Copies of this chain bind each other. A is one copy, B any other.
């Protein structure tokens, strides 16, 4: 249908975001089996766990899948070796410069996609030779850009700047919002929160329930001094705000964070002391569903809305 489907050899231009503690082989293979592109999120995995997830994913699907690689990962060389050893064909890199590994990956025949949040980094991606870009808006969950540019503004901006396949992320959790993203100029979308709440997500049941119960205004972007991150407001979030009010130093903030907070919240289900990374659109998610139902809803509602909008302005 479009150049994104062609690039990845997938049926629908829908990518499941690689998310810490949510997207293991089970979620990635389910998305791929249902016509999207599943990604294993390597950021929360030790090297041996990562390898195991890849092997299991290969068994669970014959369809294309990929991995997400946060370039800040401490043992990144181990992950790179795993990717090459296992002959992974699609890698999404994030949280770092696209110059760092794009060449190496491409020399090994890998399709490279990089996540950006402003125009400057989009241009860097093109210079580095990446195959496609994920442009992620302010409303997205987890780690986020410093410029606070929303999906509505970011997509047309990037579209007018570079001409490689463009994947919109941030605030997308319905067929209608896929159509909106494509209206803005995206070739397809990356969806996080909705898949984080799916049956096949490896997140803790408590976390999934918290997502579907959340209301508008329940998330916030914080920790802008270290690395901006969007999370649900809970007691841990309050601790961060208290630290700000006490003029905490950068080191103190890092110390507050670096206690496996995301694992505690997302994977272990500690809703009080855990870091509950999720997107602003979580308030629109109302049910824990299997990936097959989610993908079906996305496609059906995209098509329905397209029919509804078929009248031109005259």
Contacts and interface: CB of A to CB of B under 8 A. Distances in A.
Contact of A174 (B150, B156, B281): B156
Interface string A154-198: 101100100000000011101011011111110000000000000
Contacts of A171: 150, 152-153
A137 B152 contact: yes
Contact of A216 (B1, B157, B181, B312): B157
B147 A139 contact: no
Given A119-B215, A147-B217, A12 B153 contact: no
A291 B165 CA distance: 33
A311 B217 contact: no
Given A1-B311, A216-B157, A150 B299 contact: no
Chain A interface size range: 35 or more
B177 A152 contact: yes
Contacts of A203: none
Contacts of A49: none
A68 interface: no
A148 B218 CA distance: 10
A60 interface: no
Contacts of A150: 137-139, 150-152, 170-171, 280
Nearest to A147: B217
Interface in A102-144: 118-119, 137-139
Interface in A91-108: none
Given A1-B314, A148-B221, A150-B150, 8 more contacts: A138-B150, A148-B220, A150-B151, A152-B152, A156-B176, A156-B177, A156-B281, A306-B312
Interface of A: 1, 12-13, 118-119, 137-139, 147-154, 156-157, 160, 170-172, 174, 176-177, 179-185, 215-217, 220-221, 280-281, 283-284, 299, 302-303, 305-306, 309-314
Q: Which 6 A-B pairs have CB atoms at the shortest separation, nearest pair first?
A: A152-B171, A147-B217, A180-B180, A180-B183, A179-B183, A150-B150
